[in-house]
Structure 1
Amino acid sequence: METYSIISPDTPSNGIVYNSPHSGRYLPVEFLNQYEGQPIRLHQSGDSRMDDVIGGITSAGSCLFKNHYGRIYVDTNRDVREIDPACLKDSPRGLQFIRSEKVMRGFGVIPMKTFDGKDIYPEPGLTHDAARARLEEVYYPVHEALAALLEQARDRFGYYLLVDCHSMPSYRFMNSRLPSNRQADVVIGNNYDKSCSRKISRYVAQHFEEDGLSVRFNAPYAGGYNTVHYGVPDRKRHAIQIELNRNLYLNEEDLSLNGNFENLRDSITKLADKLNREIQSLLGIYTANSEK
């Protein structure tokens, strides 16, 4: 099983890479066999079909990177050290740990719980060797390839912009007590202006607002590991996270596409086209052609 795919235009025209780290569908048979619940609960923990939502962006001269493994197996939008040692069957050897808030909730680099807090493993379910093998199988190859793709873009165009694309469960699906009209359609995370140019962030927000969608910044999602790790604006390395309300394109119970999918896909493709035209201006990069 291939770990990831890179879909590139024949001739990239910008240094923008769209990433879908949580839309992977593949889960190994042995992983599924040890899970005692319904398999759809595992897939509901990911950003199902997000890679299809952003699938048109290559027409705008940008590259698309997507994971094939489900995020419930390995979450590549986490620090590799975000593992709870209490969830390992044997004594850890050679692994470092960060007991982050996400880890304590069961949502580390190797998740221990589904989206609704249910246990994935019937007991502390992984040996040290199994955890290491999973990281070597999925996590390290993904980040090695993504980092290389971003640096190639920066070498060629003088910058890169990583657009990390996600979807969030609706309040209705999560049985939240908060009314649905209080949830934004789009949450833009830029690590509180530390991972991406404010001009780019505002430009992206304005696009969605013009398409009739409500937008918030950094709440409740300020950006995960990818945004923080790859976003260093002072070095012309920009990263922004886009969270789309899942009910904009998906029937969350059975993960089938709903009637608004094409509209949302068109909106993302239109955003990619606009960024292709405006990115150099937004970054203050002027070439001989742009000055004419």
Structure 2
Amino acid sequence: MNPVDVRKGSSPVILGLPHTGTHVPPEIWDRLNDEGRRLADTDWHIHRLYDGLLPEATTVRATFHRYVIDANRGPEDESLYPGQNTTGLISRTDFDGRPIWKEGAAPDAAETQGRLAAFHAPYHAALAAEIARVKALHGVAVLYDCHSIRGTIPFLFDGRLPDFNIGTDSGRACDPRIEAAAAEIAGAADGYTSTVNGRFKGGWTTRHYGRPDDGVHAIQMELAQATHLEREAEPFAYDIAKADRLRPHLKAILERIESIALTLNS
């Protein structure tokens, strides 16, 4: 299976989808324990949730699961949140701190390098190529990184997450108008809660590609999964009614970002 699926569009907006893939090669699957095989930390159905909201947006989607290797971590595996519990380039545990590998089966450094080459690098090569293509079309590109997570995970954070978690690396990854637009629309969404640069400030993708001075802007949207799943537990089923209520707000955010992007190089 190709590690990355790319759908080219003419919009200045690119949707990054690093965590919706569920493919695990058999030789890796055999080494996951029962907990790991649940694939519980998937960004469930996010590609479906965003499908068609901005028809001309480019999408770059990893098809492999984050337990194979995490496409939203840097190749040097530096911590995104020093001093806090988090998961790395190749997770040893799930989001609840439980081991996901059979005894002695966790990948070593050499295997990690192999997975970087086979999965991580092709995803980011495709993403970088689309950013360059879109920037050549418009003089600017906006990477909108799509994520979701369970709203309550004591191992990673206290309490319950807001529904919309906007991350811009504390404002460094994008023009302030992009951050403000996303925050305004999310904040006005009736029945939802939101925050900007709270527990999630943007992963490696947002921090690495977001270079506003060079015409590349990045913003991460981490959604609480209760906004679009029947429940934040197996079988992690998509809730059409919930999703249909959420999608107009996401569409409004994307359309506003696209509109702003088209003015940034004028």
- For the criterion TM > 0.5, the same-fold answer is yes
2:233 aligns with: 253
Is the partner of 1:34 in helix, strand or coil? coil
| Aligned CA distance change for structure 1 residues 186 and 106 (closer, same or farther; 3 Å) | closer
How far apart, CA to CA, are the structure 2 residues paired with 1:243 and 1:217?
Answer: 10
Change (3 A) 1:222 1:30: same
> Which residue number corresponds to residue 127 of structure 2?
146
How far residue 177 of structure 1 moved from its aligned partner, in angstroms, is 9.7
Query: How far has the Cα of 1:32 moved from its partner?
Result: 2.1
Match status 1:131 vs 2:112 = yes
Q: Which amino acid is the alignment partner of residue 97 of structure 2?
A: G
Contact 2:35–2:99 (Cα < 8 Å) also in 1: no
1:111 corresponds in structure 2 to: 91
Kindly indicate whether the alpha-carbon contact (under 8 Å) linking 1:3 and 1:67 is maintained by their aligned counterparts in 2: yes
Q: Would the aligned equivalents of 1:170 and 1:247 in 2 still touch at CA under 8 Å? A: yes
Aligned residues: CA RMSD: 2.4
User: 1:68: which partner in 2?
Assistant: 63
- Whether 2:205 is the aligned partner of 1:226: answer yes
State the percentage of identical aligned residues: 23
Q: 2:108 and 2:151 mapped to 1: Cα distance?
A: 35
User: What secondary structure is seen at the aligned counterpart in 1 of 2:258?
Assistant: helix
Which deviates more, 107-116 or 138-147?
Answer: 107-116
Compared CA separation, residues 2 and 211, structure 1 to 2 (3 A):
same
Calculate the TM-score normalised by the size of structure 1.
0.81
**Residue equivalent to 2:29:** 32
Larger radius of gyration: 1
**1:257 is matched by which residue type in structure 2?**
Y
Q: Any gaps of 5 or more consecutive residues in structure 1?
A: 83-97, 287-292
Aligned partner of 1:265 in structure 2 is 247
Give me the whole-angstrom Cα distance separating, in 1, the residues matched to 2:177 and 2:251. 20
**Contact 1:189–1:240 (8 Å) recurs in 2:** yes
Please say if residues 56 and 265 of structure 1, whose CA atoms lie closer than 8 Å, have aligned partners that are also in contact.
Answer: no
Which residue does 1:23 correspond to in 2? 20
Of residues 167, 192, 202 in structure 1, which corresponds to 2:148?
Answer: 167
Residue of structure 2 in register with 1:200 after alignment: 178
Deviation string 1:122-178 (CA, Å, 9 cap, x unpaired) is 22622443222211110111111100110111111011110011112112x659996
Amino acid at match of 1:202: A
Q: Which one-letter code corresponds to 2:31 in the other structure?
A: Q
TM-score (norm 2): 0.89
Distance in 2, Cα, partners of 1:99 & 1:175: 16
Aligned to 1:55: 51
